[in-house]
Amino acid sequence: MLEVKGLSKHFGGITAVSNCSFTVERGSITGLIGPNGAGKTTAFNCISRTMTPSSGEVWLDGARIDTLRPHQITAQGLSRTFQISRNLADMTVLENVICQSKIRGWRDLFRPAMSKEEIDKACGILDFLGITRIAHEDGSNLSYGQKKLMDLAALLMSDPKIILLDEPAGGVSPTLLEEIIGHIRKLNEKGLTVLIVEHNMDLIMRLSHRIVVMAQGQVIAEGEPAEIQEDPAVLEAYLGGAVEEAA
C-alpha cells in the first residue's frame, strides 16, 4: 500500500534521513523503530508532507504523494498522529474530532459547523474508543492519555486507509497502554493498515507483523519481530559496543 523510495532529508549540512526505502503491506501493522536520532519521526514528517523531503519518492496505492500538500495526502487516505497532541484546547473533545471531517468542497461553507451526520459519526468513534464520557470536556482538561485517545479518534474521522502513529504509547499508564494496543488491533482487523513509530519494544513486538529498523537516517534491517530481535545489526545499533564486549 505504501512505498518509500530513496527518501532523504537534509538540514543544512546535517542528514536526518538518507536514501531510506521500505514498504508497508496492505492490511499489516508495520513497526518503524530505531535508537534516538535514527530519523524515524523525520521520515514520518516527509511521508505525510508536514516536512518537505530533500529527495526521494512516496507512493500510496500506486500514486505518488510526496508532491502533494498535507490535506491532499489526507484526502488520498493517509492520516497521522504526532508525538505531542495538537488538539485545540478551547474546544471540546467532540469539536476537536469533528474538525478532522472530510471537506467535500465549497458547499461545506453553507453547512452547519457540526452536522448531525458528523456528530453521529464522531460519537460512534468515541464510543469505539471508550471515551464517550469526555465528549464535552475541553481539550485543556484532558490527561495526557486522554489526549492520545482523542488524537486517535480525530484521525479516524477522515476515513483513512492507512494511519501513521507517532509514539501512541509514549507517557501513558500501563492500563491505558493495553487499551491502545487493543484499539489498534481491532482497527487492523477491520482492514486498516498501520505504520507505527514507538520506543516501547514490548508494544512493537506484540503488535507488528513486520518491523523496519532505522539507524543514523538509514534502514538497516527489515523482517518479522523474531528476526529483528536476533539481527546483529539491530543489536549493534541499540547497544553499540556492549554487544561486542559481551561477545
Residues 63-115 pLDDT 10s: 999 999 998 999 999 999 988 777 777 789 999 898 876 655 445 544 556 77
pLDDT of residue 174: 86
Rounded Cα–Cα distance for residues 219 and 140 (Å): 38
Q: C-alpha grid cell for residue 33?
A: 523503530
In order of 3, 4, 39, 135, 209, the CA distances from 60 in angstroms are 7, 9, 21, 33, 19
Provide the pLDDT for residue 240: 65
| Helices 174-189 and 144-156: angle between axes, nearest 10 degrees | 10
29-41 per-position pLDDT tens digit: 999 999 988 999 9
Q: Which three cell numbers stand for residue 232?
A: 546483529
Where residue 203 falls (left for φ over 0; alpha for ψ -120 to 50; beta otherwise) is: alpha
Burial class (CB in 10 A: 0-12, 13-18, 19+), 119: middle
Instruction: Provide the pLDDT for residue 235.
Output: 87
Q: Is the pLDDT of residue 147 over 70?
A: yes
pLDDT tens-place string over residues 154-211: 999 989 999 999 998 888 888 888 999 999 999 999 999 999 998 888 889 999 999 9
Element (H, E) at 7: strand 2-11
Angle, to 10 degrees, between the axis of helix 116-128 and the axis of helix 144-156? Answer: 130
pTM, full prediction: 0.88
What pLDDT sits at residue 245? 43
Q: Which architecture, in CATH terms, is 2-85+159-246?
A: 3-Layer(aba) Sandwich (3.40)
Please report where in the chains the cell 470536556 appears, as a residue.
137
Quote the pLDDT of residue 113: 60
Q: In 10 A of CB 189, how many CB atoms?
A: 9
